Amino acid sequence: MALITTLYTIGWFGVSGEECTPFNLREQFGTYVIQDGQKVYSGPYSEGTPEWDAVNSLRIASFSQGKGFIWSLEKEFYAFGRDGTTPDRASVSFDQIECGRMYMITNPKILEFEIPNFVPSAQDVDMGRVLV
């Protein structure tokens, strides 16, 4: 497990010898649902708090076949059809961190949170080898 404590983190999800299960971003940080015809935040943070502000600024990026994709609460906010109330998640490329993939996390307000099995990396630090 890794504690994310920094503005930028680049790393690999999945440590050899440890059980690896996907890290669900919607459960961890929240999403948007329709309640009484209104789009409202649903998640573990309270809107308007510093922690919610921090979650709202969080960006998690990954790549596939040369294209970059991002998860954020903003993506969750817009995961609805043209009427604004019918769920349509086509615009959300991914909403969980999965084993054997790499991610870049941008955390402008330094929300401290834990991702089990995430291996962070940095310049001049040998953090290990991918077992293939």
The contact set with other proteins (CB under 8 A) reads: 1-12, 14-18, 20, 62-69, 93-94, 98-105, 114, 119-132
Cβ closest to other proteins, residue 15 vs residue 33: 15
Of 70, 76, 24, give the one whose Cα is nearest residue 52.
76
Cβ closest to other proteins, residue 24 vs residue 64: 64
In whole angstroms, how close is the CB of 6 to other proteins at the nearest point?
2
In whole angstroms, how close is the CB of 42 to other proteins at the nearest point?
25
Cβ closest to other proteins, residue 33 vs residue 119: 119
In whole angstroms, how close is the CB of 51 to other proteins at the nearest point?
18
Q: How far apart are CA 26 and CA 16, in angstroms?
A: 25
In whole angstroms, how close is the CB of 52 to other proteins at the nearest point?
21
Of 105, 108, 109, give the one whose Cα is nearest residue 122.
105
Q: What is the largest CA-CA distance in the chain?
A: 53
Of 96, 130, 113, 93, give the one whose Cα is nearest residue 4.
113
Question: Is the backbone of residue 2 left (phi > 0), alpha (psi -120 to 50) or beta?
Answer: beta
Cβ closest to other proteins, residue 23 vs residue 41: 23
